[in-house]
Chain A
Amino acid sequence: MELLFDPAQLSDFLGTTLRLSIPIIFAAVGGVISERSGVFNISLEGCILGGAFGAAVGAFLFGSPFGGLALALLCAGLAGVTLAVLGVSLGINQIVAGIAINILMLGLTAFLARLIFGGEATTMTLPGFYPIAIPGLSAIPVVGSVLFNQDLLVYLMYLMVPAVWWVMYRTPWGLNVRAIGDYPRAADTAGVNVQAVRYCAVIASCMMAGLGGAYIVLSQVFVFTEHMSAGKGFIALAALILGRWNPIGALLAALLFGFFDALQLRLQFNSPEVPYQIFSMLPYLVSILALVLLAGKVRPPAAIGTKFERGAK
């Protein structure tokens, strides 16, 4: 209760909420693009992990967080290419392809990280991004420092979410994506290159999830650990359903999950005598509950999960 009345504590809590939400926001909003084009992206988890790995390796090799960012986008993008080849071109069940990519990323990043970082993997601190306060805005009580004393990736997210919304709902390309997700044959008849749009959507989607992974490494922990994505990609999948396949909705849903994650951390902190795992499961439970409450009330893109082949009946 004191949480609500003490501005410092409230601001701290909101900051934690935002911090924990950001990887989920990146992945969920990315997932919206892919799924609106009719491709399930179960590999968001692997893309977050790939992004985290790329970010760590890039920051390590180039000594700069921007090098990390570039390599994060590359690694996650490659995962996206793999998903597109398997799920869009070869027409393999997209869920199978996504699961396969997740398992590949898990093993590959674990091995390569040990190869590259050796034994010092968990002790070294990588270069990262640091908060930049925006003059004026960051002075607003409580929310000012939460929203406007952040690092580059957070500001990027502020720009990205409206940008994705604008592209999806206000540009011809976005219309194509949405049309392909619902009725690819009609889009094809209208002269849209279905496969090309799906490739772009899937790769963009994975790169955005990769940014989420990069954020964890470059802005939060400054180190790569095996399986550090820890299910965030799957929570993002729940968030994009809860957000009804809309970027703004996905953002709000991801913030909700971040809120519960922050809440469980506070509960852990306040009751050290209870094993913390009982609280750790809260975000996952809330995700399941959200899916249950929403069941039957949301409609996924009509053509999701199906292969499109020109001229096929």
Chain B
Amino acid sequence: MMLKGIELFYLLRPVWAVLLALVLGSALIALGGVNPLAAYKELFGGAFFDYYGFANTLVKMSPILLAGLAVVIPLRAGLFNIGAEGQIYMGGLLAAMAALYLPEIPAAIHIPVVIIAGAIGGGLWGFIPGYLKAYHGINEVIVTILMNYVGINLVSYFAGGPMMQEGAPYPYSEEIAEYLWLPWIMGGTDAHAGILFGLGLALIAWLTIRFTTVGFALDTVGKNQTAGRYAGINVKRQILVSMFVAGAFAGLAGTFEVIGLKFRLYHLFSPGYGYDGIVVAFLAGLNPILVPLSAFFLSGLKAGAHIMQRATGLESTVIDAIQGLVIIFVAASLAFRFNQSQWKRILDRRKSMERQLAEQNAGAKSGSD
């Protein structure tokens, strides 16, 4: 019973990490001259208990959830995809191109084409570092990061050059046709259906990893490549496929920003959602079914930050600092694994000690009588 409790305590590590980050964050807030409780009340109240605030949380959750999945999937195979940011941009770019430049086709075909184009755009941006890793052994961390900068600059180039709307004050493209827009899910707000795609894909990713041989192969490669190879798993293909799929998920995040929220290709349209995906992935313990939960929390922090800034005057960047603390503590908590035999030993020792104490006490009592 006690053992189960301790195991649960270990399982909830990310929760403790978040609480610790929020406590330390309150010191930062106090440093900013604001009462931390008042700030958190505005933050969480605005993010989760206000109609428009909640809608805003969902708006941010759409890309962050997908970016989180884009980090989780390759990481199951032991690959660090730090390139979700660039993949988001490339997805947005190809989706915008498909939306703006294809000849007239019926909406029922055009919409899926746009979405697939976005997925392929991001997918290719993930496939390249995957290929370089699988066939040339090049560190995927460095390549994915460097490709972020290439992707972001490419979008800025297109949005400010060939695709720029004439006379626009800063780089953005023409507006895409209204029949391509994603439906809204909360009246009077910006919350769009992208989040539903994200939730569906999280479920599919979880089912795949949990119940199929594909998922098993992915995890085996992540745990021990050599064992995987001996078990007949094509390790290279696992790397290629997981990186392509991850890129495609991030590409969809970019696609939904374009066809669900902005309706144009803007330069710098993602404020680092790809990096938020890393935080989300670790907060979810690399479990796809928990990604929506951690993405919901993080999006809430971000959406609430501006409400908090308006109400208390505290810089909303404090949330970026708290987010940094969250990932540091989650990372540190990874070091503390639940060791059943060790805890059992400790508990057994305690029990025997208590028994001895009880016996001695009983003996002392009978002696004094």
> Which residues of B from 140 to 178 have beta carbons under 8 Å from A?
141-143, 145-150, 153-154, 156-157, 160-161, 171
Contact B160–A275 (Cβ < 8 Å): yes
Which residues of chain A (65-88) have a CB below 8 Å from chain B? Answer: 82, 86
User: With A93-B334, A100-B330 given, can you name 20 additional A-B contacts, CB distance below 8 Å?
Assistant: A86-B332, A86-B335, A91-B335, A95-B80, A99-B278, A105-B324, A107-B320, A111-B32, A111-B315, A111-B320, A115-B315, A226-B317, A231-B148, A237-B142, A277-B156, A278-B161, A284-B150, A285-B150, A287-B142, A288-B143
A234–B142 Cα gap in the complex (Å)? Answer: 6
Q: Are A295 and B325 in contact (CB under 8 A)?
A: no
A110-B137 contact given A103-B278, A104-B327, A234-B142, CB 8 Å threshold? no
> Which residue on B lies nearest to A118, using beta carbons?
B315
Q: Which of B28-42 contact A (CB under 8 A)?
A: 28, 31-32
Interface centre among A101, A108, A285 (most CB of B within 10 A): A108
Interface residue A97 (Cβ < 8 Å from any Cβ of B): yes
Q: Complex: how many Å from CA A91 to CA B335?
A: 7
Please determine whether A90 and B153 come into contact, CB atoms closer than 8 angstroms.
no
* Bound: A288/B321 CA distance, A: 30
**25 residue pairs A–B, Cβ–Cβ below 8 Å:** A42-B141, A86-B332, A90-B335, A92-B334, A100-B324, A103-B327, A107-B319, A107-B324, A108-B320, A108-B324, A110-B320, A111-B318, A114-B315, A115-B32, A234-B146, A275-B160, A275-B161, A277-B156, A280-B153, A284-B147, A284-B150, A284-B153, A288-B146, A291-B139, A292-B136
Residue of B nearest to A293 (CB): B136
The tally of CB-CB contacts under 8 A between chains A and B is 134
Beta-carbon contact of A111 and B328 below 8 Å: no
Q: Does A296 contact B (CB under 8 A)?
A: yes
Contact with A along B272-315 (1 / 0, CB 8 A): 00010011001000000000000000000000000000000001
Evaluate contact between B28 and A111: CB separation under 8 angstroms.
yes
B234-285 with Cβ < 8 A to chain A: 267, 275, 278-279, 282
Given known contacts A104-B327, A115-B315, A92 and B335 CB-to-CB distance under 8 angstroms: yes
Select from chain A the residue with minimum beta-carbon distance to B319.
Answer: A107
> Chain B nearest CB: distance from A293 CB in Å?
10
The answer on a CB contact under 8 Å between B171 and A281 is no
Given the contacts A110-B317, A238-B142, A278-B161, A100 and B136 also touching, CB distance less than 8 Å: no
Cβ of B323 < 8 Å from any Cβ of A?
Answer: yes
B contact set with A: CB distance below 8 Å: 28, 31-32, 80, 82, 132, 136-139, 141-143, 145-150, 153-154, 156-157, 160-161, 171, 267, 275, 278-279, 282, 315, 317-325, 327-328, 330-332, 334-335
Selected contact of A291 from candidates B142, B320, B322, CB within 8 Å: B142
Contact status A231-B328, CB under 8 Å: no
Main SS at interface, chain B: helix
Contacts of B327 in A (CB 8 A): 99-100, 103-104
CB distance from B79 to the nearest CB of A (A): 10
Cβ contact of A108, chosen from B275, B282, B321, cutoff 8 A? B321
Number of interface residues of A (CB under 8 A): 45
| Distance from A158 Cβ to chain B, minimum over Cβ atoms (Å) | 27
Contact B278 A104 (CB under 8 A): no
Min C-beta distance of B362 to chain A, whole Å? 42
Q: Which of A188-219 contact B (CB under 8 A)?
A: none
Task: Give the chain A neighbours of B328 by CB distance below 8 A.
Answer: 82, 86, 100-101, 104
Task: Give every chain A residue within 8 A of B161 (Cβ-Cβ).
Answer: 274-275, 278
Contact check, B278 vs A296: say whether CB atoms are below 8 A apart: no
State the CA gap A280–B149 with chains docked (Å).
9
> CA A105 – CA B171 in complex, angstroms?
29
Q: How far is the CA of A194 from the CA of B146 in the complex (A)?
A: 32
A235, B143: Cα distance in complex, Å: 10
For A288, the chain B residues whose CB sits under 8 A away are: 143, 146-147, 150
Those of A38-75 within 8 Å (CB) of chain B: 42
| A149→B315 CA distance, assembly (Å) | 41
